[in-house]
Amino acid sequence: MTPLEKVQEKFGKDIVETHAFRGDETAVIRPASLLAVAKFLKDTPELDFNYLMDLTAVDYLFFAGGRIQKEFRFEVVCHFYSIKHNHRLRLKVQVDDREAPDGRKHPEVDSLTSLWASADWYEREVWDMYGIRFKGHPNLKRILMYEEFVGHALRKDYPFDKRQPLIGPQN
C-alpha cells in the first residue's frame, strides 16, 4: 500500500482530492486536518516521514489569467520525505482569506513546528511573503523583509511599485 493510499484510508473524509504522477503522490486536504495528517505521516512506522523537505504557499488570486475561479485564495504546500523508506508525499492545504470579525482577512493554518523543527523558518517565510498565519508557531515574525515593511510581497495583489518606509542604521 502506498503512502497516499494509507492517508486516504485513514483520513478519507478530510481529503478533497488526490493525484499521483510518476511516483509523485499528492493529497489535497482540509485545513483543520493538517496537524493530524502530518502527525500520522511522521509517527506511523511504515510511513516514517521524518524529513520536512519544504513548506511554501501559492496565491491563486489571478489563476490562469483570472479565467478560473477557485473557492480559496491560497494553498500551503508541504513536501515530506522518508529517509528510511525512500518515499515522498506532498500535502496541499486550501486556505481561504475570508474576513474575520474585525473586518480584516486572516488566512491561517496550524503550525508544524511541534513535529518538525525545520518548519520554523519555512512558516516564517510564508508568513513574511504571503501573510498566512500559522497557529501555534513559537516565533512568527518576518524573516526576509525588515519589520517596518508593509504588506506581503509575494501576494499577487501587492502593488509592484509600492513605496516602502526607508530605514537606516539604528544609532
Could you tell me if residue 75 is inside a domain? yes
Q: Closest Cα to residue 119, out of 57, 53, 65, 39?
A: 53
Q: Dump pLDDT digits (tens) for 44-62.
A: 999 999 999 999 999 988 7
Could you tell me if residue 159 is inside a domain? no
Decide if 95 contacts 34 (C-beta within 8 A): no
Could you tell me if residue 76 is inside a domain? yes
Average pLDDT, the chain: 90
The whole domain housing 114 covers 3-135
Decide if 36 contacts 11 (C-beta within 8 A): yes
Could you tell me if residue 160 is inside a domain? no
Q: Which residues sit opposite 136 in a β-bridge?
A: none
Flag the least confident range among 27-31, 58-62, 99-103, 150-154.
Answer: 99-103
Phi, psi of 9 (to 5 degrees): -65, -40
Residue 167 has pLDDT above 80, yes or no: no
Could you tell me if residue 66 is inside a domain? yes
Cell numbers standing for residue 28: 489535497
Could you tell me if residue 171 is inside a domain? no
3-state SS, residue 103? coil
In the chain, the number of structural domains is 1
Q: Which residue has the cell 537606516?
A: 168
* pLDDT tier at 96, thresholds 50, 70, 90: confident
CATH number of the domain encompassing residue 32: 3.30.460.80
Could you tell me if residue 162 is inside a domain? no
Per-residue pLDDT, 71: 79
Could you tell me if residue 32 is inside a domain? yes
